[in-house]
Structure 1
Amino acid sequence: MSAPARSPLEGLETVDWADLHHAYGPATDVPGQLAALLSADAEERYEAHQQLRGNVYHQGTRWQASRHVVPFLTELVDDPATPDRAAVVDLLRDIALGDRDDTHLPFEPAREFARAENVTSTDVAAVLDWLYDDDGDGDEPEESDAVAVSWDRDAYLAAAAVSDRFAAWTNDPDPMIAAGTAELLVWFPATQPVVSRLMEIPAAEGRQVARASANLSLGYLAPDDPAVDNRLTDLLAAGTFGVQLTAAVALALRLGDRIPDAGLQVLAEARDHADEITETTFPMPWHRSLLGFTALALYRIGLSP
């Protein structure tokens, strides 16, 4: 007799949510919102997603409870029975990284979170008292910005602790999950298994956007690995221009003016293929457009447009 299936929300009740805070106060409503992401009712799932996002990622800010949500979102994505898994990946990225875009790459956590190094539990308590003071009086604690950075750091580190599990999602049959995960992986340590996963994504039909997203991530990861350079060079001849272009961009980011001539040629042809690489025709999960990445690549090799 087989064992019963393990719930992706196993252990949810062991977190002391009442002792944690989100944007609106104690996080006692978070378990119900996480559970509702598994509802059979699409409207209920959507409402739970919006409420959860507003609570732990309110206007881009992470909160005390945010990091505790990360492991459960990871479990939900891991479970193929979870509905709307692409939306869960999107929420996971937002909680782990906030509003960061490629201008923060390559990502250096020690520098980004330096202000949080000396934050104490006393500082956190003072900020929570000020935030949720019903009387609305009192001056903002001088530690408030540093405490906010510490919640940002904690959410990132919670994701980094399970980031090795993200790599498997690049093989997901949902192209939005595969492409979004390829971008997500650029923010965490570039272990050899992760780099290998990003290199292995095929450029076959239905996988082109994931392949292109992985190309951009490889532009920032494992900078001294010639195997990555060789893989990207091979992809300059891929059958989809979006894949070719992102390979050329990645090579420009990695090699500068040592980019192969074929890569330079692809960059030069980008505007001629503009209709093929719009957000509609080639929907990439990156904040910058592909023509924007082309301009960045040309700047990197000293040929500013």
Structure 2
Amino acid sequence: MSWQGGAGVPKIYEEGGLEFHAGTPEDVRVVVAAMTAGARDGLYLDAAPWEKFHHAFGPGSDVPERLQRIRHGDAERADRELDILSDTLCHQGTPNAVGALALPFLVRIATSRPHPRLVGLVGALARRPHLGDGTRGGLLRTSPLADGLLFEPSGYVANWSVQAARQALTTDTDLLLPLLDHPDPAVRTGTAYAVSAAAAPARDRAAAALHARLDAEADPVTRASLVLGIGELAWEERDTATIARTLTWWRDPARPAEVRMSAALAWLCLVDDPLPAELDTLLDTEATDRLVAVLDPVPWLFDAARGDGLRTVLTQMRNPDDYAWITGTY
């Protein structure tokens, strides 16, 4: 038995399985890592083997043309192309191998032509598919489970695609950091989401930039995104300084409601402690209709539920036994 969806889709059960293909030209991690700095910086789109890898609708040969239209087209046309490209590269929320190839070019287009959905797409490609997971173990987790396999609609291994895109993002994080000061708060929010997926060695620089921006930020959606981003960058190492800082933030009644709430969510994801009574009360008090509406565009919460994201996340975090089908599956 095998699944061979086309060129670039490895046979999972034959020829030694995944290990047989790892490290070969069928491994998108190898292909993206081999892309030269000159190709990335010069936006030499022909340097990527688009047709070798497939997405939900077939080979990726149309992606370079769409990237060029986003880069050079008028605003209306660029928006239309970005709609199509987002669905092509991250179909139904699952990043794919073509998206990993595109990520270095998307970063450079975003720096020259910032757009909220463009930087948001970079962030979506560089982290595991969310698939409605707002649990304490899932909301801020960037990578798929090491012992779990997730497949793209084409049949390709999504784990490899996420790893390739995340490494590409890590290489280019410094290019995105200036967008944290962009005049459009939606661009700042999308940038916070993108750089929060960075791995070492860019992780510390990204965290420092998010902290610096938080001190100056006035937009509530961006403020909440900066706090969640700081938490995500600390998640893999369970950074003790960030745990202490988020605890201080949610306990501080002088801080804005969106900061206290996002800090509470980040803290709950970073620790294994039972939900304290003090925090339980805070969540009930602060999760007002107004705050739910304000925080709906925050990328982490938007991914958890298309609307009413905050309440969905709070329900999942407070009732983990009811969501065992989510936790630990991908």
TM bracket (short chain): 0.5 to 0.7
Q: Are residues 1:291 and 2:306 paired?
A: no
What whole-Å deviation, never above 9, does each CA across 1:33-89 have from its counterpart, x for those lacking one? Answer: 10111345333212322332343333445444322100011111222xx15x11111
Q: How does 1:185-204 map to 2 (within 5 A)?
A: 185-189=195-199, 191-202=203-214
Q: Are residues 1:96 and 2:126 paired?
A: yes
CA RMSD of aligned residues (A): 3.8
Q: TM-score, normalised by structure 2?
A: 0.63
Q: Are residues 1:87 and 2:117 paired?
A: yes
Q: Are residues 1:237 and 2:253 paired?
A: yes
**Unmatched 5+ stretches in structure 1:** 1-6, 117-130, 132-143, 301-305
Q: Which residue of 2 aligns with 1:172?
A: 182
Q: How does 1:45-60 map to 2 (within 5 A)?
A: 45-60=78-93
SS of 2:214's partner is coil
Q: TM-score, normalised by structure 1?
A: 0.68
Q: Distance in 1 between matches of 2:50 and 2:267?
A: 46
Q: Distance in 2 between matches of 1:230 and 1:179?
A: 21
Percent identity of paired positions between Structure 1 and Structure 2: 25
Q: Is the 8 A contact 1:18 1:28 kept in 2?
A: yes
Q: Which residue of 1 aligns with 2:266?
A: 250
**Equivalent residue letter for 1:279:** A
**Equivalent residue letter for 2:111:** D
SS of 2:141's partner is coil
Q: Which residue of 2 aligns with 1:279?
A: 293
Q: Which residue of 1 aligns with 2:324?
A: none
Q: Are residues 1:207 and 2:237 paired?
A: no
Q: Is the 8 A contact 1:115 1:146 kept in 2?
A: no
What whole-Å deviation, never above 9, does each CA across 1:119-150 have from its counterpart, x for those lacking one? Answer: xxxxxxxxxxxx9xxxxxxxxxxxx7464543
Deviation of 1:228 after TM superposition, in Å, equals 5.3
Q: Is the 8 A contact 2:139 2:269 kept in 1?
A: no
Q: Distance in 2 between matches of 1:24 and 1:297?
A: 35
Q: Which residue of 1 aligns with 2:19?
A: none
Q: How does 1:135-150 map to 2 (within 5 A)?
A: 145=155, 147-150=157-160
